[in-house]
Amino acid sequence: MLPEQEKRISDADLTEKTKEQLLKYLNGRDIPAEQFDTILNRVREEYQKTRIEACEAVGIIAAQSIGEPGTQMTMRTFHYAGVAEINVTLGLPRLIEIMDARKEPSTPTMTIYLQPEYSGDRDKAREVSWQIEAAPLHEFGDITIDMENMQIVVHLNTAVCDKRKIAVSTIVETAPRKIRDRRHYRDFDYENNDQDATIVFMPKNRESYQNLFQLAEHVRNVIVQGIDDIERVVVRKESGEYILYTEGSNLKDVFDVDGVDTTRTRTNNISEISQVLGIEAARNAIIHEALATLNEQGIAVDVRHIMLVADMMCMEGEVKQIGRHGIAGEKESVLSRAAFEVTVNHLLDAAVANEVDELSGVTENVIVGQPIQLGTGDVKLIAKPMN
Amino acid sequence: MSTGLNVLDHVMVPDHKIMSEEEVGSLFSTYNISNEQLPKIYHDDPAVKAISAKVGDVIRIIRHSHTAGRAESYRLVIKRPKK
């Protein structure tokens, strides 16, 4: 292929992907100018044919294209992602969750990628996982309730602390602070001793056994290492590198952990992505999650439909749900909103607010019995008088 | 935000670029639209902060499209409405 022909392809009014494919197929071939023109024109013609036409109701098509295969989805599927024993909601409940733009998915999980110096080594990957997995105090030593002196004595096991790469002094310092801040329990005093690796907790009310046991419960379960929201971490090797899968999600805090690859790590919590990485990342996440959920069920839906849904959800700068509290509830037309859900409320509010319906959409015109503005209905004829 | 995190490096975040006034002008005239008709992005969006765009700027977003390979999109920076 001549360089001049290559330039003509890259300048053509085609999509990048088409251009790449065309260049790939024609590469290394000797094409006469005449034939090249035919090829390029035919490709251009075909591309124009694939484009959606003006006044095509893409929303309805998307709704049907996702809805029909959706009826074949299993109602309630729980699936163990690969060999790792992490439970994630899939199937229809997950799809509904994505479209509803829930603040938190029912099973939040993260896929944490590691930086090159950590990803090749199992032990180093395990070290990172300890920084992430929430570990309660009782995993680091013995907790005894001293009923005679009305106190709780914690003996930290230094061997465990060393193995988990956490200083005894850090645990001694964090444990009481976390009980106060995170668990909101303040009725206690404490004495700590770094040398013996012990902490002694005393309830303020020294008469009540109930208080003592309540405090013991807090002491046992206070998170002293890791990120509070992440309950479990599983290390797995996939295509030559170690990856961490988690139960629970906290993107912001995980990004602060040493060794985490902040360019690839992801979560299935879309609202968290929109807060930490922005609305465009949230759009990508919606497409990815919805497509993955559908494909896992063996349902092939064209990406274009999902892209349209994701685009609509992310139009206003934040993730909006599809439904009464999101896209459908914010339509301009009163009749269109009333046709969707809570009809009477919308009509009443519109009457009180003296709202006007322009009758520009499809639903409104179906209700009043006019031709809809789609396809041939969009064309208006204006006839000039002959003379 | 921590020093180690640049949201624009993340694989899920496409390229965000502030458009010059001429570019915005030609965009509006080719599509025959006004800035109100563009999709929006909030001023405190992490990606907007990363490129330090102001309210009223138009941002060109270059996405990796599943279908086209590369797709351009535009967003107008607006102030986040108070709840």
- pTM here is 0.86
Q: Per residue in B24-43, pLDDT tens?
A: 999 999 999 998 899 999 99
A63, part of any domain = no
Give burial (CB, 10 Å; 0-12/13-18/19+) of B47: buried
Whether residue A84 lies inside any domain: the answer is no
Contact B72, B65 (CB under 8 A): no
CA distances from A43 to A9, A25, A54 (A): 10, 12, 21
CATH number at A171 reads 3.30.1360.140
pLDDT exceeds cutoff 50 at A95: yes
Q: Flag if A317 and B45 touch (Cβ within 8 Å).
A: yes
Contact A256 B4 (CB under 8 A): yes
ipTM for the predicted complex: 0.92
* Chain B nearest CA to A46, separation (Å): 14
Give domain status of residue A70, yes or no.
no
Range in A33-37, A164-168, A357-361 the model is least confident about: A164-168
CB A240 within 8 A of CB A121: no
Mean pLDDT of chain A: 86
Summarised one tens digit per residue, pLDDT across range A312-361 is: 999 999 999 988 888 888 888 899 999 888 899 999 999 999 999 988 88
Residue type (1 letter), A141: G
Give the tokens for residue A99: 């479209």
Nearest-CB residue to A20 (from B39, B66, B69): B69
- Whether residues A317 and B46 touch (CB distance < 8 A) is answered with no
**Computed over its alpha carbons, how large is the radius of gyration of chain B?**
14
Any domain includes B8: no
| Polymer length in residues for chain A | 387
Task: Measure CB to CB from residue A303 to each of B12, B67, B80 and give the nearest one.
Answer: B67
Task: Tell me which residue of B69, B68, B12 sits closest to A289, measured CA to CA.
Answer: B12
Structure tokens at B49: 């902060």
CATH number of the domain within which B53 lies: 3.90.940.20
CA angle A165, A168, A174 (to 5 degrees): 100
- pLDDT tens across A153-163, in order? 888 888 888 88
pLDDT value at residue A216 = 86
B69 domain residue, yes or no: yes
Domain boundary among A164, A199, A225: A225
Residue A89 lies in a domain: no
Chain A / chain B CB contacts < 8 angstroms: 96
Which chain A positions have a beta carbon within 8 Å of B8's beta carbon? none
- Of A281, A311, A314, nearest to B10 by CB-CB distance is A281
**pLDDT for the residue numbered A84:** 55
- Residue A212 pLDDT greater than 90, yes or no: no
Please name the residue that has the structure tokens 């985490």.
Answer: A260
Structural domains of chain A, count: 3
Evaluate if residue A96 carries a pLDDT over 80.
yes
Does any CB of chain A come closer than 8 Å to the CB of residue B48? yes
Mutant choice from A257, A277, A286, A311 vs B, greatest count of B C-beta within 10 A: A277
The model's confidence at residue A78, banded by pLDDT at 50, 70 and 90, is low
The answer to whether position B66 is within a domain reads yes
> Domains in chain B: how many in total?
1
pLDDT of residue B3: 52
Judge whether residue B18 has pLDDT over 90.
yes
In a domain, B59, yes or no: yes
The answer as to whether B4 is a domain residue is no
What value does the mean pLDDT take over residues A213-224?
86
Q: Could you tell me if residue B3 is inside a domain?
A: no
A12 touches chain B (CB under 8 A): no
Residue A83 has what pLDDT?
46
For residue A79, name the pLDDT band (cuts at 50, 70, 90).
low
CATH number at residue A358: 1.10.150.390
Q: Is residue A58 part of a domain?
A: no
Quick one: DSSP state of residue A128? H
In a domain, B5, yes or no: no
**pLDDT higher for A193 or A62?**
A62
Q: What domain range includes position A14?
A: 3-50
Q: Which of B3, B13, B70 to mutate to test the interface with A (most CBs of A within 10 A)?
A: B13
Distance CA B70, CA B65 (A): 5
Residue of chain B minimizing CA distance to A252: B1
Look at residue B2 in the predicted model and tell me its pLDDT.
Answer: 45
Task: Give backbone dihedrals phi and psi of A146, rounded to 5 degrees, phi first.
Answer: -95, 95
* pLDDT-derived band at A62, boundaries 50, 70, 90: very high
Report yes or no: A332 at the B interface, CB cutoff 8 Å. no
The answer as to whether A31 is a domain residue is yes
Q: Hey, are the CB atoms on B5 and A17 less than 8 Å from each other? A: no
- Chain A residues with beta carbon closer than 8 angstroms to that of B61: 280
Q: Pairing state of beta strands B71-78 and B40-42?
A: parallel
Is the CB of B45 inside 8 Å of chain A's CB atoms? yes
Cα A146 from Cα A191, distance rounded (Å): 14
Is the pLDDT at A80 greater than 80, yes or no?
no
pLDDT at position B30 is 92
Secondary structure percentages of chain A, helix, strand, coil, to 5: 45, 15, 35
pLDDT in tens, B63-83: 998 888 889 999 999 999 887
CA A151 to each of CA A146, A208, A260: distance values in angstroms, whole numbers, following the listed order: 5, 11, 40
Phi and psi (nearest 5°) for B5?
A: -105, 120
Question: Is the pLDDT confidence value at A81 over 70?
Answer: no
CA distance A318 to chain B (A): 8
DSSP three-state, residue A334: helix
Contacts of A264 in chain B (CB under 8 A): 10-11
- Name residues whose C-beta falls within 8 Å of residue A351's C-beta, 6 or more positions apart in sequence: none
Give the structural domain span for B21: 13-78
Average pLDDT over residues A175-196: 81
The rounded distance, in Å, linking the Cα atoms of A124 and A352 is 65
Per-residue pLDDT band at B1 (split at 50, 70, 90) = very low
Which of A225, A258, A276 marks a domain boundary?
A225
